[in-house]
Amino acid sequence: MPPTTVLTVGSLHYDIMVKADHLPRKDETSVGSRWYPKFGGKGGNQAVAVARAGVASRMFGAVGEDDFGTFLRRALRGAGVEDGFVTTLSGVGSGMSVAIMDAEGDYAATIVSGANLQSDPAALADPALWHGIGLLILQNEVPEALNIAAAHQAKARGIHTILNAAPARDLSDDLIGLIDLLVVNAVEAEMMGAKPVDSLSSAADAANQLSLRFPAVIVTAASKGLAAVDADGQGFTVPAEKVKLVSSHGAGDAFIGALCAALVQAKSLYEAAIAASHAAALHVSTQD
């Protein structure tokens, strides 16, 4: 049997969620209706989404020696994610964010990375970390040096690497050369040089453009759906399911988790994209 555990190298955030009628403008003090803590960080959310899809999930990251870190570890374990390679660091706070969600389910957030910037790339060389791993997930909420180190370790072991390039930032040629599948949303695709994405057709154009730099690409276009180019150069689109939006918060992470859970089970990119699209639709329509 091929290895079927997914390794996520990435961020862990203690999210403070605030609900309000609208998102405040510059210099505005708005009044919220409630707040609550939530497990977060793109890395953590994606690792949990993998586990929820029924696939073994392992996390590499860092938290601070504080109550936020305790919360984050408990949430990982409660979701069935292996946390033995999550380091607790003294002298630095856990990563956290504050997000405001409006009545329509749209949100804006600010993150403070904290311990997520302090993971030791050398620790990625531990053979035990890679035992049983069939796929690696990366994002851009940790330093690029950590992503490069992880991708090099994966490449040396013949393991494919998926980069969810969020939040968008410039990528080095070294990292680009190590990525097997790039996943970006419309905004990130445009920030990486593609033309604006506002339809499935323009998403397909963006995927084709980005496929000149990456072996395979998925461009998501929110309520429109997604477009992709696979490793054989074949393009396809998947229209989004029609659902009532409760909140878009975390939809991309739910998509990545389901996508990678399907890929590590040897599904085709097309099959995995359909599963991921369904997971995202379910996520945005059923949140509290």
**What mean pLDDT is predicted for residues 202-209?**
97
3-state secondary structure of 93: coil
Between helix 251-264 and helix 42-52 the angle, nearest 10°, is 50
The 10s digit of each residue's pLDDT in 47-93 is 999 999 999 999 999 999 999 999 999 999 999 999 999 999 999 99
Tokens standing for residue 260: 């990678």
pLDDT at 287: 63
Indicate the pLDDT class of residue 121, thresholds 50, 70 and 90: very high
Indicate the pLDDT class of residue 43, thresholds 50, 70 and 90: very high
Domain made up of 5-286: CATH architecture: 3-Layer(aba) Sandwich (3.40)
Residue 121, CB-side half-sphere exposure with 13 Å CA sphere: 13
Nearest CA among 157, 171, 164 for reference residue 44: 164
Indicate the pLDDT class of residue 103, thresholds 50, 70 and 90: confident
What is the value of pTM for the model shown? 0.92
Examine the pLDDT at 222 and tell me if it is beyond 90. Answer: no
**What mean pLDDT is predicted for residues 211-230?**
96
**What mean pLDDT is predicted for residues 92-98?**
95
